[in-house]
Amino acid sequence: MQRRYTSLAAAGIATALTLTLSGCGGGQGDRVTLKLVAADYGDGTGPGSRQYWDRLTRAFEKEHPGIKVDVDVYNWKDVDKKVADLVRKGHAPDLAQIGSYADYAAQGQLYSADELLSIPVQADLQPTLAEAGEVGRVQYGIPFAASTRRLFYNKKLFAQAGIAEAPKTWDDVAEDAELLKKQGVKTPYALPLGPEETQAESLNWLLGGGGGYTDDIGKYAIDSRANVKTFEWLRDELVDKGLTGGDPATLNRADAFARFADGTVGMLNGHPALIKQAEAHGIDYGTADLPGKDGPAASTLGVSDWMMAFQHNGHRTQVGKFLDFVYQDTNVLNFSRDFGLLPVTTSAAQKMAGDHRFGTLQDFVAPLRDAQFYPANKTSWPEVAKALKSEMGAAVGPKGDPSSILSDLQNMAEAADTAGG
């Protein structure tokens, strides 16, 4: 679930080892060790993803005694680089569960989803997530963890300010933020446009204003008129009026979440990980659809982390068996429950609905149907996202010029896209 809302993990240092008993290399009777590099979704207070994978691989190996799965788990800041280093050295793992897949797909290094997954499992992937994993209409990225965004608000602070319900429009947000400010709330609206996750916060607002990072045919449209007007509104109606508690360009998402959990933030856009954080601090919170320019936003940001399978070791059959096991409902729901992320299969999402054990998390599932994702199928996206993180926040500063900054970002994105293509 990014960049994000948490982190992935894993990169192996050794090449997957194939012990061939029949001499056929890759045949049904071979004993094979698969190498999986995975990300750690833990929050530092428990065993994290390692325990999840240990439990899952033991169950899989019991059903498939000819296949062993060796998992290396790394934190988010290291895992993508670990996989990249392995691939560069010619030791690609069989599987990697990381943040992006497009570069490897473009280089012809990955199996497609239909080469790996059984038809029922592939058909069960949530459609918006499966489509976000496509390059050239072929799916290479298999969604593993997902999240959407909703507005979180502090019910106690809202009540003290005389606010009866969550805002539905941007004007409501500004009005409610003014009321919270008058009550002495330090940060009426937390707007994290710092270098950690600016691309996420920005996209939520762009969608609410009828824009986005790309147009209907997939070309970058960062400097569209709708996007410029969105950032002008943020600058004029929230930041300049002192409703964000400081300069958004210096506020990271993790800090914004921590302030909400401390009870000093009135409202902010948040993903499911904030549920556990807020509840651990005893915050009486509510969630609502993201406000848009003229009403609730038609769509929200969806974020997915990806599972992919490299062709390097030739273990297609064994990898496919393992992935069919990974995406069984029990395993998908166990992961969602352990880490507060959304199920990536339709059947698991249906089972989550109405299950009290998942609490508020259920409210984040339905928005996946209409969610908008980063253009992760573009090889240029990592470079563009890096530029957004470093530049976007300045557009709403005291001397911010959204038109100029978004134009510069558009030019950079077009150049990166051309080079990548």
Q: 372-384 pLDDT, tens per residue? A: 999 999 999 999 9
* Stated length of the chain: 421
375 neighbors 191 (Cβ within 8 angstroms): no
Q: Would strands 67-74 and 31-39 be described as parallel, antiparallel, or unpaired?
A: parallel
- Of 320, 344, 322, 300, nearest to 143 (Cα)? 344
pTM of the entire predicted model: 0.86
Measure the CA–CA gap between 393 and 406, rounded to whole angstroms.
11
Cα–Cα separations (whole angstroms), residue 259 to 45, 197, 360:
19, 16, 20
Average pLDDT, the chain: 91
**Do residues 361 and 348 make contact, with C-beta atoms less than 8 angstroms apart?**
no
pLDDT digits (tens, 9 = 90+) for 52-102: 999 999 999 999 999 999 999 999 889 999 999 999 999 999 999 999 999
> What confidence tier does 420 reach under pLDDT thresholds 50, 70, 90?
confident
Give the closest residue to 185 by CA, choosing from 160, 164, 210, 165. 160
% of the chain at pLDDT higher than 90: 84
Q: Return the ∠ at Cα 213 (arms to 209 and 214), rounded to 5°.
A: 110
* Residue recorded with tokens 């009005």: 175
Amino acid of residue 295: G
**What does the pLDDT read at residue 147?**
95
Q: Name the residue ranges covered by the structural domains of the chain.
A: 18-147+303-365, 150-299+379-420
What type of residue sits at position 172?
Answer: D
User: What element of type H or E holds 72?
Assistant: strand 67-74
Fold that domain 18-147+303-365 belongs to in CATH: D-Maltodextrin-Binding Protein; domain 2 (3.40.190)
Q: If you classify domain 150-299+379-420 with CATH, what class do you get?
A: alpha beta
Quick check: do 18-147+303-365 and 150-299+379-420 share a fold?
yes
Amino acid identity at 113: A
